[in-house]
């Protein structure tokens, strides 16, 4: 059942919805490496779109569909090792990140802006968790989306793997650097 083409299509369609949101979200965070004020302004404008009553539930349902379908598809014989590894990391990241943001915003009444994301990087040992946590998430999402797109248009290629990995490495480094700057620099251990 879980390897049925309709199940895979559900994963891809919800992944596409999520990829659009994540792309804009990551671009917002990459802006941190260029200009903090621009990143916060972009985030404020973007929030007016994705926090709409008709939009945010669609994004959250897409997350739930990914969490429900991803592990089952990863167990399939046709799943590439890189897709499995990146998918499992994204499973972990989505569970932690979405839960933390929703709890912070709805449960604690916090503003879950870029400062919220950077707050864990203000000192040790938090930075030891959050720097790789965010960096690996960007690498995993770029790799996973790159492999998914290359698979849609033909067999995954070495070039697609390299391009998506390089994008993730550069983007991840820029985002972690930007979050560190928002957090107040690199703290000493």
Measured distance CA(92)–CA(142) in Å, rounded: 16
| Mean pLDDT in consecutive groups of 10 residues from the start of the chain, 189 residues | 73 89 91 88 90 89 91 73 87 94 93 87 89 96 84 70 89 93 63
Measured distance CA(89)–CA(85) in Å, rounded: 6
Contacts (Cβ under 8 Å, ≥6 apart) of 7: 1, 69, 72, 73
Contacts (Cβ under 8 Å, ≥6 apart) of 45: none
Q: Assess whether the previous peptide bond of 125 is cis (omega < 30° from 0).
A: yes
Instruction: List, for residues 49-68, the tens digit of each pLDDT value.
Output: 888 889 999 999 999 999 98
Measured distance CA(169)–CA(79) in Å, rounded: 23
Report the predicted TM-score, pTM, of the whole model to 2 decimal places. Answer: 0.86
Measured distance CA(32)–CA(163) in Å, rounded: 22
Instruction: List, for residues 59-98, the tens digit of each pLDDT value.
Output: 999 999 999 888 888 776 556 788 888 889 999 999 999 9
Measured distance CA(164)–CA(142) in Å, rounded: 5
Tell me how far the alpha carbon of residue 35 is from its chain's centroid.
21
Token digits of residue 127:
């930075």
Measured distance CA(36)–CA(30) in Å, rounded: 10
Residue 76: φ, ψ to 5°:
-70, 155
């Amino acid at each position: 059942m879980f390897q049925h083409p309709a199940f895979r299509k559900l994963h891809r369609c919800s992944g596409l919805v999520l990829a659009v949101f994540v792309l804009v979200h990551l671009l917002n965070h990459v802006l941190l490496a260029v200009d903090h004020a621009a990143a916060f302004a972009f985030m404020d404008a973007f929030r007016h779109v994705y926090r709409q009553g008709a939009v945010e539930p669609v994004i959250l349902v897409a997350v739930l569909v990914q969490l429900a379908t991803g592990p089952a598809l990863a167990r399939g014989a046709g799943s590439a090792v890189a897709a499995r590894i990146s998918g499992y990391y994204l499973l972990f990241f989505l569970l932690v990140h979405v839960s933390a943001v929703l709890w912070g915003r709805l449960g604690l009444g916090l503003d879950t802006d870029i400062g919220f994301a950077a707050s864990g990087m203000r000192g040790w040992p938090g930075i030891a968790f959050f720097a790789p946590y965010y960096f690996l998430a960007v690498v995993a999402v770029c790799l996973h989306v790159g492999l998914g797109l290359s698979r849609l248009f033909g067999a995954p290629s070495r070039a697609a793997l390299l391009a998506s990995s390089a994008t993730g490495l550069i983007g991840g480094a820029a985002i972690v650097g930007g979050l560190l700057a928002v957090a107040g620099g690199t703290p000493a251990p």
